[in-house]
Amino acid sequence: MPGKASKTGRHQEVERKFDVGESTVTPSFEGIAAVTRVENSPPQTLDAVYFDTPGQDLARHRITLRRRTGGPDAGWHLKLPSGPDSRTEIHAPITDGADENAVPPELLDVVLAIVRDRPVCPVARISTRRETQTLYGADGAALAEFCNDHVTAWSGGSADGGEGESSEQQWHEWELELSEQAASTNGAAAHDLLNRLSNRLLDAGAAPAGHGSKLARVLDSSAPIPHRTPPADPVHRAVAQHVEELLVWDRAVREDVEDSVHQMRVTTRKIRSLLRESQDSFGLADGAWVLDELRELAAVLGVARDAEVLAERYQRQLDQLDRALVRGPVRERLVEGAKRRYQAGLRRSLIAMRSKRYFRLLDALEELVTKRPIATFGQNAEPINIERAYRRVRKAAKAAAVAGDGDGGHPPNEALHRIRKRAKQLRYTAAAMGVDGVAQQAKAIQTLLGDHQDSVVSQEHLLQQTDAAHAAGEDTFTYGLLYQQEADLAERCRAHLDSALRALDKAVRKARH
Instruction: Give the pLDDT of residue 9.
Output: 83
Residues 6+ apart with CB under 8 A from 383: 235, 278, 281, 377
How many Å separate Cα 218 from the centre of its chain? 27
Report the Cα 497 to chain-centroid distance in Å.
33
Q: What's the pLDDT score for residue 382?
A: 47
What's the rounded Cα separation, in Å, for the pair 452 and 444? Answer: 12
Q: What is the pLDDT of residue 4?
A: 38
Q: How far apart are CA 498 and CA 313, in angstroms?
A: 26
Give the model's pLDDT for residue 6.
38
Q: Give the amino acid at 240.
A: A
Q: What one-letter code names the amino acid at 478?
A: T
Paired strand residues for 155: 124, 167
Task: List, in order, residues 6 or more apart from 186 with CB less than 8 Å away.
Answer: none
- List, for residues 316-363, the tens digit of each pLDDT value: 999 999 999 999 999 999 999 999 999 999 999 999 999 999 999 999
State the pLDDT at residue 3: 38
Q: Which of 18, 12, 146, 17 is nearest to 83 (CA)?
A: 12
Q: Which residues of the chain have pLDDT under 50?
A: 1-6, 165, 376-382
pLDDT at residue 166, rounded to an integer: 64
3-state secondary structure 56-79: CHHHHCCCEEEEEECCCCCEEEEE
Least Cα distance to 465 among 320, 279, 298, 341 occurs for 341
Nearest to 461 by CA among 309, 318, 328: 309
CA-nearest of 147, 178, 14 to 71 is 147
Q: CA 174, 178, 184 angle in degrees (round to 5)?
A: 160
Written in H, E and C, the secondary structure of 240-305 is HHHHHHHHHHHHHHHCCCCCHHHHHHHHHHHHHHHHHHCHHHHCCCCCCHHHHHHHHHHHHHHHHH
Q: Residues 187-230: pLDDT tens digits?
A: 788 889 999 999 999 999 999 998 888 999 998 765 555 556 66
CA dihedral sign of residues 352, 357, 362, 368: negative
What pLDDT, on a 0 to 100 scale, did the predictor assign at position 233?
A: 81
